[in-house]
Copies of this chain bind each other. A is one copy, B any other.
Amino acid sequence: MSRGTKRRSYHHGNLRRALIDAALELVSENGPHGFSMREAARRAGVSSGAPYKHFPDRDALMRAISAEGEQRLLAAMDEEMARAGTEPTARFRAMGIAYVKFAVANPSYFRVMTMPEYLDAEQETTIQGQEDAVHAIISSAQASGAMTADDPRVVSLAAHCLVYGLARLFIDGHLARDGIGPQQAEAVATAVTGVFGRGLVPRKPDQ
């Protein structure tokens, strides 16, 4: 058996996995731009042609990363929602905060996942399913009187924009400039979703 560290040959092991891991490493070091098929192969200790036994082309490897990230994101959101209990607005907010936390904790996955060129049909149906789940939560919150009766599609869209935009601003370093680091992701997401929930127009009785 392999003693301790990695073997220099994957004839027997899992080259597919090793290539994905190497690609994630390269993305985290130099951005999506800095990944190449040949360098990933080199890091996996394999010749330049070998990856093509596992992925038809460069884009397919990226799509595999994108799909894997998507699964992890969904799992993370499910977990946080379970922790949030059964009240729909609490679940809704927990989902948004979990989204931002995932992005900040997994920037390489997030950057690849959010490149439109790496979304395949299979993943689009996963996303569609997730959107349906969001609509169900919104409807349920509205039915119980805990949420305004705005068009659920608009509410869902606005919420999606909000958390996606926040995640991007974190990942792209636009908040680091203002001294906001990854450790504050949860606090910032909580503040931003709070403002979104209460609205900007003052409430008459509270004035």
Binding site for B on A (CB under 8 A): 31, 33, 89, 114, 116-117, 124, 128, 145-148, 150-151, 153-155, 157-158, 160-166, 168-169, 172-175, 177-178, 188, 191-192, 194-205, 207
Tell me the bound Cα distance from A164 to B164 in angstroms. 9
Nearest 8 A/B pairs, CB to CB: A199-B199, A161-B165, A165-B165, A116-B172, A164-B165, A161-B166, A158-B192, A198-B199
Contact of A201 among B162, B177, B191, B198 (CB under 8 A): B198
Q: Which of B147, B150, B165, B195 contacts A150 (CB 8 A)?
A: B195
> Does the CB pair B158–A195 fall under 8 Å?
yes
CB-contact partner of A146 in B128, B172, B178, B202, under 8 A:
B202
Q: Residues of B contacting A172 with CB < 8 Å?
A: 114, 116
When chains A and B are docked, how far (Å) is the Cα of A34 from the Cα of B39?
A: 21
Q: What is the bound-complex CA distance between A151 and B153, given in angstroms?
A: 28
User: Nearest-CB distance from A28 to chain B (Å)?
Assistant: 14
Contact call A199/B197, Cβ cutoff below 8 A? yes
- Interchain CA distance A200-B150 in the complex, whole Å: 8
Checking B116, B146, B154, B200 against A155 with a beta-carbon cut-off of 8 angstroms, the contacting residue is B200
Question: What is the CB-to-nearest-CB distance from A154 to chain B, in angstroms, rounded to a whole number?
Answer: 5
Pick 7 A–B contacts, CB within 8 A, sort by A.
A145-B207, A151-B191, A158-B192, A161-B192, A168-B168, A198-B201, A199-B201
Which residues in B have their C-beta under 8 angstroms from that of A203?
A: 203-204
Q: Which residue of B lies closest to A172 (CB)?
A: B116
Q: Is the CB of A169 within 8 A of B164?
A: yes
* Residues of chain B lying within 8 A (CB to CB) of residue A168: 164-165, 168
